[in-house]
């Protein structure tokens, strides 16, 4: 239930009231005729003549049976007749036979008085004979001549001028964000509540989910914002976490865990740019991405949103921010968006609650709780700074990320005893003192979905909704904009009362609004508030899909390759099996079209792994059987594609609730082990065929240690998205396998959590592991010019005919000397460490590596990521020796 609006907000200005159209009429008789305006708001500049379209329509779609006369007149708004506009009235008639939907204009003449002023309204009154009037339009005379509207002035001065003109109610409106579903049926709520922002949650789309429909919807809501006194534009936001996944037809890129496997910051920047171009093309200037969480426990259902378990890897992937935002000062480009670093901080490092998981057993899904998502990070300050805060310093200082989203999780400092966690949305020390203070963040913070609702209210401990206490604590902690999807009006009322009572300082309100307005100016929204539909062809374009395909190929991690099972011959006789071979929904994962994603071959437009195999190897003889029920006769190689079904936050937690409203395949219990049916398909195909290749399409590692012996080649495919041909590219050698594990692959479930740097580190495959299928020698030869030690290392006797190492000690000795002299040459470092890593992994496969080989390989990858290639080489050489 929404509370009545206080008088102070109701009287915020006659402008808002004047501009609101009447509520739609009640459901009409099937043969009714309706008169409406083409738009509810018509913008007008001083001295212009504004055509206002009036439309007539019949409920059965047939032409008018009788004439309809519409009488119109300029009414009483905030503009002054005779000064701001010429009062006028008239009548127009739609004759019998007029087609339904026909429009005719009437004209309002706006005068130029030369005075600088805020926006003013000229509502039109309408009456009709023989028809019902459904909506009445308002002409808004644009604000003009004021400093904040002058693009020649510095942003800081424009912000200061605008802030000085705003009422408290208008400021609070700027701090409020509602869900589109809360306003789309009555867009005038945008003006009534003076909203600063609207968002689309996962699956919240226009009725026609096309790029053009998105532009139309966003512009319709923007028109309401521009009908207010100061005409402060909305900033629309969306979760485009792996491409513009809410929009059908968009390029769906690999989730972050796959991008982390590429170890390619430049590619990740291109992915960010392509995503930004598609998001902005649909009229949206703000993306709630990237997630900079450091995933330390794969039982967490959001672990695939992390680039990896090592903060140094996450930092290296922050080039995605540059791709989204572009160069500093270029946010107003039509292919860039405001990025959001989330979830600040510690969301990937929360403790798994075994008691909650145990209590969930046997309960219906709606009574179960999340055992790790939105949990508590129990830690000391040193660990929190080293692991959880580390990604935010470069995000703020080097990449100038424009917005930050606090985490749902809590922090419980071990230094002051356990049992007193603080919700991140209430954590003034970490938000204001650390992020805004010590790190120097000058953008704005937006809460997560109803984030402050989770702040415990001592006076109402069982109240899961909004209270004055929660609003006060959230605002005073330092969050600037509040995502209140369906409670926007209540939030505004509560905050107004808290400020009026002196419990929230006016300085805190001004700080929040100043930060929000600054980004709106930098995005160019004041100069170009309306989105153009000219770039909708960017959505799902061939160029972006090519980037996606490249990212998929580079994200594939080859974990095992006995007998050089891969790459496959393009004329091979293949038996393709597994439920994820031809399921684009499973392949894309969560946050795709809907919040939790959806299983199904036609979930999104794109190319499945099976489609990709057929495309890349048209000469192959292919038998496909999802459940391996078809005979395997005649096949030489089995390609089994198994893994997970889609999930997102909470419902992806191992031991957590299943998504009861999702598609049937998604309702399976979440696990770190392959599902029984998947295991059965692997066993059946691998037993029947001489060569067996298994691809795991999943958001996290899947334990299959006991089946590893029957598998010839094992690939971690992650969640590749819409471009499954990228998987086929590496399977058939069009591109080499180059990916490396962004997380440790556990030996068994009890080993989790297992992370690089652990004291007892013995996973099945370590962080940084990834076999390659391109010859080491070729990569080394590419950097040999003018490097005598490299040329000496390339001597023929040191190598086998296939380009693999024959004499590792001799070659590594030469390369170590060269690296010591040229350790700042990035291509050289990458080539030398690649040879050393190949040699180390070959020693592991042969069984000649030392017992602590997993820790040495993982530590080497960490050393490389932290800028210590000499140490990385030394560690790898110890394994290879």
Catalytic residues: 448, 649
> What whole-number distance in Å separates Cα of residue 593 and Cα of residue 606?
13
DSSP-assigned beta bridge partners for residue 37: 54
CB distance 484 to 471 below 8 Å: no
Nearest to 121 by CA among 85, 89, 148, 88: 85
> What is the C-alpha separation between 538 and 534, in angstroms, rounded?
9
d(CA 3, CA 17): 19
Distance, in Å, from the CA atom of 100 to the CA atom of 147, rounded to the nearest integer, reads 46
Instruction: Yes or no: say if 862 and 767 are a contact pair by the CB < 8 Å rule.
Output: yes
Phi and psi at residue 582, in whole multiples of 5°? -135, 50
Element containing residue 254 per DSSP (H, E): none
User: What is d(CA 254, CA 243) in angstroms, rounded to the nearest whole number?
Assistant: 8
In the β-sheet with 376-379, what is the strand arrangement from edge to edge? 376-379, 410-413, 422-423
**Backbone Cα Rg of the chain:** 30
Q: How far apart are CA 68 and CA 56, in angstroms?
A: 8
Length of the chain: 881
Positive/negative CA dihedral, 294, 300, 302, 304: positive
- Rounded distance between C-alpha atoms, residue 331 and residue 338, angstroms: 7
Separation CA 585–CA 663 (nearest Å): 10
The answer to whether 329 and 524 are in contact (CB under 8 A) is no
Are 194 and 169 in contact by the 8 Å Cβ rule? The answer is yes
Interior CA angle at 701 toward 700 and 706, to 5°?
A: 155
- Rounded CA-CA distance 491/332 in Å is 30
Phi, psi of 674 (to 5 degrees): -60, 145
Q: Encoding tokens for residue 298?
A: 């794969």
Q: Helix 869-880 and helix 808-821: axis angle, to 10°? A: 170
Instruction: Measure Cα distances from 422 to 187, 246, 375, 382, 412 in Å.
Output: 37, 33, 11, 17, 6
Tell the residue number behind the tokens 């905030």, with chain if given.
78
* Spatial distance between the Cα atoms of 202 and 589, rounded to a whole number of angstroms: 13
Instruction: Give me the helix-helix angle, 468-477 and 506-522, nearest 10°.
Output: 60
Task: State the Cα–Cα distance between residues 66 and 349, nearest whole angstrom.
Answer: 70
703 bridge partner residues = 673
Is 271:551 a contact under the CB 8 Å cutoff?
yes
Report DSSP state, residue 52. E
Sheet holding 482-483, edge to edge: 286-287, 235-238, 197-200, 176-179, 482-483
For 473, the token pair is: 């604590």
Tokens of 80: 């002054």
Helix, strand or coil, per DSSP, at residue 732 = coil
C-alpha 279, offset from chain centre: 10
Residue among 638, 620, 622, 496 nearest 566 (CA): 638
Query: Helix, strand, coil proportions of the chain in percent (round to 5)?
Result: 35, 15, 45
């Amino acid at each position: 239930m929404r509370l009545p609006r206080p008088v102070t907000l109701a009287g915020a200005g006659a402008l808002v009231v004047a501009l609101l159209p009447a509520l739609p009429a009640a459901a009409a008789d099937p043969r009714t005729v309706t008169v409406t305006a083409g738009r509810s708001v018509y913008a007008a500049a001083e001295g212009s003549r504004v055509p206002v379209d009036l439309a007539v329509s019949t409920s059965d779609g047939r032409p008018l049976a009788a004439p309809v006369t519409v009488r119109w007149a300029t009414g009483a708004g905030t503009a002054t007749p005779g000064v701001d506009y010429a009062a006028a009235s008239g009548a127009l008639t739609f004759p019998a036979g007029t087609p339904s939907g026909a429009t005719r204009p009437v004209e309002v003449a706006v005068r130029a008085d030369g005075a600088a002023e805020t926006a003013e309204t000229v509502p039109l009154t309408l009456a009709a004979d023989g028809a019902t009037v459904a909506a009445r339009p308002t002409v808004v005379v644009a604000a003009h001549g004021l400093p904040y509207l002058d693009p020649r002035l510095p942003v800081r001065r424009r912000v200061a001028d605008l802030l000085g003109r705003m009422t408290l109610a208008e400021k609070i409106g700027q701090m409020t964000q509602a869900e589109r579903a809360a306003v789309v049926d009555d867009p005038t709520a945008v003006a009534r509540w003076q909203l600063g922002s609207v968002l689309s949650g996962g699956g919240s789309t226009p009725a026609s989910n096309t790029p053009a429909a998105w532009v139309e919807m966003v512009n319709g809501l923007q028109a309401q914002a521009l009908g207010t006194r100061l005409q402060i534009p909305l900033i629309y936001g969306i979760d485009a976490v792996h491409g513009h996944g809410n929009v059908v037809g968009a390029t769906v890129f690999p989730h972050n865990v796959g991008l982390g496997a590429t170890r390619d910051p430049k590619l990740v920047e291109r992915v960010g740019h392509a995503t930004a171009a598609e998001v902005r093309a649909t009229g949206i200037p703000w993306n709630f991405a990237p997630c900079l969480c450091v995933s330390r426990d794969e039982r967490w259902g959001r672990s695939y949103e992390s680039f990896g378990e090592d903060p140094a890897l996450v930092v290296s992937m922050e080039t995605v921010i540059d791709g989204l935002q572009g160069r500093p000062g270029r946010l107003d480009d039509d292919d860039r968006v405001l990025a959001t670093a989330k979830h600040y901080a510690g969301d990937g490092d929360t403790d798994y609650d075994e008691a909650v998981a145990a209590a969930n057993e046997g309960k219906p899904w709606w009574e179960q709780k999340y055992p790790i998502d939105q949990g508590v990070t129990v830690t000391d300050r040193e660990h929190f700074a080293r692991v959880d805060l580390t990604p935010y310093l470069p995000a703020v200082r080097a990449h100038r990320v424009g917005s930050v989203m606090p985490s749902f999780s809590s922090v419980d400092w071990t230094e002051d005893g356990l049992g007193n966690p603080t919700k991140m949305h209430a954590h003034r020390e970490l938000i204001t003192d650390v992020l805004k203070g010590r790190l120097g963040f000058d953008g704005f913070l937006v809460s997560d979905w109803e984030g402050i609702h989770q702040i415990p209210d001592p006076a109402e401990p069982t109240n899961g909704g909004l209270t004055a206490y929660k609003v006060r604590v959230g605002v005073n902690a330092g969050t600037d904009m509040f995502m209140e999807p369906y409670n926007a009006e209540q939030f505004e009322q509560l905050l107004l009362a808290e400020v009026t009572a002196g419990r929230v300082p006016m300085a805190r309100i001004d700080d929040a609004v100043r930060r929000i307005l600054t980004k709106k100016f930098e995005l160019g929204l004041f100069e170009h508030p309306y989105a153009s539909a000219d770039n909708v062809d960017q959505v799902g374009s061939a160029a972006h899909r090519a980037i996606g395909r490249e990212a998929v190929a580079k994200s594939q991690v080859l974990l095992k390759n006995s007998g050089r099972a891969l790459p496959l011959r393009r004329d091979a006789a293949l038996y393709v099996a597994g439920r994820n071979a031809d399921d684009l929904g499973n392949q894309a994962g969560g946050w795709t079209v809907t919040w939790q994603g959806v299983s199904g071959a036609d979930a999104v437009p794109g190319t499945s792994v099976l489609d990709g195999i057929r495309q890349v190897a048209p000469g192959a003889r292919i038998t496909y059987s999802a459940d391996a029920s078809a005979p395997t006769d005649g096949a030489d190689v089995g390609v089994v594609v198994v893994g997970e079904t889609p999930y997102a936050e909470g419902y992806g937690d191992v031991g957590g609730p299943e998504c009861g409203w999702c598609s049937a395949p998604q309702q399976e219990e979440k696990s770190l082990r392959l599902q029984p049916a998947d295991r059965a398909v692997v066993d059946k195909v691998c037993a029947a065929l001489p060569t067996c290749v298994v691809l795991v399409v999943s958001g996290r590692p899947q334990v299959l240690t006991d089946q590893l012996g029957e598998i010839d080649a094992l690939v971690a495919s992650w969640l590749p998205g819409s471009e499954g041909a990228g998987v086929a590219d590496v399977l058939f050698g069009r591109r080499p396998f180059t990916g490396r594990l962004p997380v440790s692959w556990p030996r068994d479930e009890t080993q989790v959590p297992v992370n690089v740097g652990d004291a007892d580190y013995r996973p099945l495959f370590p962080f940084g592991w990834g076999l390659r299928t391109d010859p080491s020698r070729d990569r080394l030869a590419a950097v040999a010019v003018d490097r005598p030690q490299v040329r000496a290392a390339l001597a023929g006797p040191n190598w086998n005919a296939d380009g693999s190492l024959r004499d590792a000690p001799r070659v590594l000795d030469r390369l170590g000397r060269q690296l010591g002299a040229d350790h700042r040459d990035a291509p050289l470092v990458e080539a030398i460490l690649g040879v050393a890593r190949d040699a180390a992994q070959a020693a592991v496969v042969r069984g000649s590596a030392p017992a602590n080989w997993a820790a040495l390989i993982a530590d080497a990858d960490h050393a490389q990521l932290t800028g210590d290639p000499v140490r990385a080489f030394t560690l790898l050489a110890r394994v290879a020796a």
